[in-house]
Amino acid sequence: MYAQMVDTGSPDNQALDAREARFQQRIDDGIRIEPQDWMPERYRKTLIRQISQHAHSEIVGQLPEGNWITRAPSLKRKAILLAKVQDEAGHGLYLYSAAETLGISRDQMVDDLHTGKAKYSSIFNYPTLTWADVGAIGWLVDGSAIMNQIPLCRCSYGPYARAMIRVCKEEAFHMRQGYDLMLALCRGTPAQKAMAQDALNRWWWPSLMMFGPPDGDSVHSAQSQAWKIKLFTNDELRQKMVDQTVPQAEYLGLTIPDADLKWNAERGHYDYGAIDWDEFYAVVKGNGPCNRERLDTRRQAWDDGAWFREALVAHADKQAQREHARAA
Amino acid sequence: MKNEWPLWEVFIRSQHGLAHRHVGSLHAPDAAMAINNARDVYTRRNEGTSIWVVKAVDITASDPDDKQALFDPAQSKVYRHPTFFPMPDEVKGL
Ligand SMILES: [Fe+2]
Ligand SMILES: [Fe+2]
Using an 8 Å Cβ cutoff, are A134 and A88 in contact? no
Whole-number Å distance, alpha carbon A61 to ligand 1 midpoint, is: 8
Task: Classify domain B7-84 at the CATH superfamily level.
Answer: Phenylacetic acid degradation B (3.10.20.520)
Per-residue pLDDT of chain A (328 residues; tens, 9 = 90+): 677 777 777 655 455 688 899 999 999 999 999 998 999 999 999 999 999 999 999 999 999 999 999 999 999 999 999 999 999 999 999 999 999 999 999 999 999 999 999 999 999 999 999 999 999 999 999 999 999 999 999 999 999 999 999 999 999 999 999 999 999 999 999 999 999 999 999 999 999 999 999 988 877 788 999 999 999 999 999 999 999 999 999 999 999 999 999 999 999 999 999 999 999 999 999 999 999 999 999 999 999 999 999 999 999 999 999 988 988 7
Looking at beta carbons, which pairs linking B82-90 to residues 24 or more positions away fall under 8 Å? none
Compute the C-alpha angle A133/A135/A138, nearest 5°.
Answer: 110
Neighbours of A278 (CB within 10 A): 8
Q: How far is C-alpha A262 from the geometric centre of its chain's CA atoms? A: 28
A vs B: CB pairs below 8 A: 50
Task: Report how far residue A328's alpha carbon sits from residue A317's, in angstroms, rounded to the nearest whole number.
Answer: 16
* Inter-chain residue contact B29 with A106, CB threshold 8 Å: no
Model-wide pTM > 0.80: yes
**Chain A residues near residue B30 by CB distance under 8 angstroms:** 312, 315-316, 319-320
From the CA of A246, how many Å to the nearest CA of chain B? 32
| Complex ipTM over 0.95 | no
Q: What are B23-75's pLDDT values in tens digits?
A: 999 999 999 999 999 999 999 998 899 999 999 999 999 988 898 999 999 99
CA of A309 to the centre of ligand 1 (A): 25
